[in-house]
Structure 1
């Protein structure tokens, strides 16, 4: 079983951009969502498509990801639930870890969420000034919840 342990934060300013890569354009949508389980398709830079199953709630979740043909992803998009999320994901070195900074566009702009994947829940990491409030346990900030929300929670960057 694949497991991800992830902490999620709002952004405080844009100082993270100084060390960020060029970013990846992401379009993602959900095919099924219920408490503790989601099925999503993510299209990266219009060149790669991934089907992901996530299970569980909170910081530690099951995650199973499979590459699928891009044409299949485009066909599946017609069956999406809620909104199609659009964001640019930047990778920022954070010591031995990497922060993934998602800058949302469309209806979710100016939301910026930062995810840090950890080897275990108690793993220490440097906390730079641009890391804002932690929202790891706030279900409103999962991508599935953002896609299904009538009025998503927004935070200034």
Structure 2
């Protein structure tokens, strides 16, 4: 199960010291959006992912792919290929902000996700002051939706 909250971020409110946090380059495309079947390159790792319907709580299964299998499937994706840099920013209680800075024609979109161990923790979460609008329950900001626009 994946339990996460998602927020829009305003560029003016970004932490000034982003370069001190680990950053991963991500490229992903969708073979299907209902249900979600996605391929992703995360630095030098490759995955096929299935996600169930839902917003804050969803099933998620990740299967490893070879680079060759990823490249083969990449040619079969629908819509745009999403590219983003993901910064991993530690929070209290062992939580981590996954700050996505989108590239390509999705720039200057900025989204932050925080994953939780359970729904109670997700519901009790108080976001940092630099987070903007909570879009957890908006399908508009699912990457699978962004891939179609």
TM-score by length of 1: 0.86
- Alignment root-mean-square deviation, CA: 1.5
Q: Which runs of 5+ in 1 are unaligned?
A: 150-157
Map residues 55-74 of structure 1 onto 2, 5 A cutoff: 55-74=52-71
- Structure 1 residue 22: Cα displacement: 3.3
Runs of 4+ in 1 over 3 A off after TM superposition: 16-20
Question: In the aligned structure 2, how far is the partner of 1:56 from the partner of 1:16?
Answer: 35
CA deviation profile, 1:87-136 (whole Å, cap 9, x unmatched): 00010001120010000001000000000001122213442111111000
Question: In the aligned structure 1, how far is the partner of 2:20 from the partner of 2:5?
Answer: 19
Question: In the aligned structure 2, how far is the partner of 1:16 from the partner of 1:122?
Answer: 31
Q: Which runs of 5+ in 2 are unaligned?
A: none
1:116 alignment partner in structure 2: 114
1:33 alignment partner in structure 2: 33
TM-score by length of 2: 0.91
Of the three residues 87, 90, 105, the one matched with 2:87 is 90
Does 2:134 match 1:137?
no
Question: In the aligned structure 2, how far is the partner of 1:41 from the partner of 1:27?
Answer: 8
Higher helix share: 2
- Structure 1 residue 20: Cα displacement: 5.4
Does 2:100 match 1:102?
yes
Contact 2:18/2:87 (<8 A) preserved: no
2:24 alignment partner in structure 1: 24
- Structure 1 residue 139: Cα displacement: 0.4
CA deviation profile, 1:12-64 (whole Å, cap 9, x unmatched): 31127458523111100000112xx200000022x210110000211100000
